[in-house]
Amino acid sequence: MSPAQPDGQPWDLRGVLLPQLAEASADRPLSIYVHIPFCQVRCGYCDFNTYTVGFGPGADRVSYDSSALAEMRLAARILSDAQMPARPASSIFFGGGTPTLLDPAALARLLEGIRQNFGIAPGAEVTVEANPESVDEAVLESLREAGFTRVSFGMQSAVPTVLRTLDRRHDPTKLPGLVLAARQLGLDVSVDLIYGAPGESLQDWEVSLREAIAMEPDHISAYALVIEEGTKMGAQVARGELPMPDPDDEASKYEIADRLLGEAGYVWYEISNFARRESGEEGPSTQLRHASKHNLAYWRDWDWWGFGPGAHSHVGRYRWWNVKHPSAYAQRVTQGFSPAQAGEILDAQTREMERVLLAVRTSEGVDAPRAGAERDTFLQALPTLASEGLIESAPAAQGRAIVTLQGRLLADYVTRCLLGY
Ligand SMILES: C[S@@+](CC[C@H](N)C(=O)[O-])C[C@H]1O[C@@H](n2cnc3c(N)ncnc32)[C@H](O)[C@@H]1O
Ligand code: SF4
């Protein structure tokens, strides 16, 4: 289960990238994502590509690393054949699914595979997502020793009834100890929160935020619950058993998050992401020590290779995505074929549009497209958006859109105005 991949065009079975379209450049950093497609149970709201069972050799929890390692070897060859200069990974993210369902030794082998095939840049951010119920101090220590520098805990809420609605299994009282252990090990710590679950009151949300802040993580992500079609929760909402999240309630919760996190020293650098500002630390919030480099790589349209079933990759003008099922994936990579299912070659207009879509969500904001009708549309929208209080006035006068708090609440509308649709 989880939604279908986009259509795209069929992909070369060897995964060949042409140098002129891969846009070889040593200046554009390379980021790496490793997808771990397994979970203990399926949370009712989640539509990520993840499975609670294994599918045999190369596609189960004990042997999956061998498949991802095979894709890494293939990727290194493809990039070298495309005449890409060697670029050690500047950020790495192990996500899921539940990466911590794999043995830490398997996660260490995967990280070693990245080191051997691509190299890891000095000071690279190396994150692993961890579900609180699947880690303990010993696991955290092994991950630290293997070279992970950052752990992102799926906290979601501190309120037991909300956790139950979300089908989360962890005991919220265990998380503070885990966060403390991770910090004492020298890991950077992030926690993910979700707001807007059916039945969650404003007070529940405030409790979750205060509990998260009390753990003093370096970074907090706060996501509005999205009701995804094809999920258990999507069906419950469709049948009227659960209410659809109320946009006004979600807006109030975002405002509470912005206020409480701001008071506690966390600064927004992307709509859903807040980094702790160290004392004496200055400069734009996207450059804060604790702002996720990996997140920023996506938003800046740099190159990234996503390993694993269903993972998406982007190199120069290429974008492609892998087959979704773990056994189809394992079969392809063990036979030496690319696991790419399909992809597309991005034209300048699409890239420009995506640049606006992503950058508008960051505190850096977004400049007008360089030329064409898109530039005119963008520039014409600025004065109105500024007068509506949705973007800051001074940067708007210089052709740049930086969303205000009000604009963050209406980011989709701001984007539509800037792109003219
Ligand atoms: C896909 S999960 C993977 C990490 C880990 N398995 C976990 O659940 O904590 C990554 C994050 O995506 C967010 N997420 C997943 N589904 C979501 C949804 N439908 N709406 C909002 N956020 C969601 C959650 O905050 C979660 O921590
Ligand atoms: S544990 Fe995370 S990835 Fe797995 S189903 Fe729940 S939200 Fe999705």
Residue 374: CB within 6 Å of ligand 1?
no
* Confidence at residue 4, expressed as pLDDT on a 0 to 100 scale: 66
Gap between the Cα atoms of 283 and 366, Å rounded: 18
* Confidence at residue 64, expressed as pLDDT on a 0 to 100 scale: 98
Of the listed ligands, the closest to the CA of 44 is: 2
Q: Which atom of ligand 2 is nearest to the CA of 131?
A: 1
Which tens digit of pLDDT belongs to each residue from 99-124?
Answer: 999 999 999 999 999 999 999 999 99
| Lowest mean per-residue pLDDT among 52-56, 281-285, 412-416 | 281-285
Nearest to 290 by CA among 274, 304, 270, 271: 274
Which tens digit of pLDDT belongs to each residue from 261-271?
Answer: 999 999 999 99
Residue 413's contacts (CB-CB under 8 Å, 6 or more residues apart) are 390
Residue 131: CB within 6 Å of ligand 1?
yes
Domains and CATH numbers, the chain: 9-304 (3.80.30.20), 348-421 (1.10.10)
Gap between the Cα atoms of 92 and 308, Å rounded: 14
Give 93's Cβ-side CA count (13 Å radius): 21
Q: How far is CA 337 from CA 78, 211, 312, in A?
A: 11, 47, 16
User: In this structure, what is the dihedral angle of CA atoms 103, 105, 109, 111, given to the nearest 10 degrees?
Assistant: 80
Whether the pLDDT of residue 67 is over 50: the answer is: yes
Per-residue pLDDT band for 1 (boundaries 50, 70, 90) equals very low
* Secondary structure, 3-state, 158-213: CCHHHHHHCCCCCCHHHHHHHHHHHHHCCCEEEEEEEECCCCCCHHHHHHHHHHHH
Which tens digit of pLDDT belongs to each residue from 381-395?
Answer: 999 999 999 999 999
Query: Which residues are registered as beta bridge partners of 276?
Result: 266
Q: How wide is the angle at C-alpha 395 spanned by C-alphas 390 and 397, nearest 5°?
A: 95
Question: Can you give the pTM of this predicted structure?
Answer: 0.96
Over residues 355-379, the mean pLDDT reads: 92
Whether the pLDDT of residue 73 is over 60: the answer is: yes
* Confidence at residue 287, expressed as pLDDT on a 0 to 100 scale: 87
Cα 340 → chain centroid: 20
* Confidence at residue 283, expressed as pLDDT on a 0 to 100 scale: 82
* Confidence at residue 119, expressed as pLDDT on a 0 to 100 scale: 97
Over residues 171-181, the mean pLDDT reads: 95
Residue 96: CB within 6 Å of ligand 1?
yes
Q: Rounded to the nearest whole angstrom, what is the distance from the C-alpha of residue 314 to the centroid of ligand 1?
A: 22
Q: Rounded to the nearest whole angstrom, what is the distance from the C-alpha of residue 172 to the centroid of ligand 1?
A: 16
Q: Which atom of ligand 2 is nearest to the CA of 39?
A: 4
Residue 46: CB within 6 Å of ligand 2?
yes
Which tens digit of pLDDT belongs to each residue from 136-146?
Answer: 999 999 999 99
Residue 192: CB within 6 Å of ligand 1?
yes
Residue 43: CB within 6 Å of ligand 2?
yes
* Confidence at residue 3, expressed as pLDDT on a 0 to 100 scale: 57
Gap between the Cα atoms of 367 and 372, Å rounded: 14
What share of the chain in percent tops pLDDT 70? 99
What share of the chain in percent tops pLDDT 90? 86
Of the listed ligands, the closest to the CA of 192 is: 1
Query: Which of the two residues, 274 and 352, has the higher pLDDT score?
Result: 274
H helix or E strand, kind and range, residue 373: helix 372-387
Gap between the Cα atoms of 143 and 308, Å rounded: 20
Which tens digit of pLDDT belongs to each residue from 9-37?
Answer: 989 899 999 999 998 777 889 999 999 99
H helix or E strand, kind and range, residue 306: strand 303-307
Q: Are 224 and 196 in contact (CB under 8 A)?
A: yes
Which tens digit of pLDDT belongs to each residue from 295-319?
Answer: 888 878 789 999 999 999 999 999 9
Q: How far is CA 342 from CA 15, 22, 276, 315, in A?
A: 10, 16, 39, 14
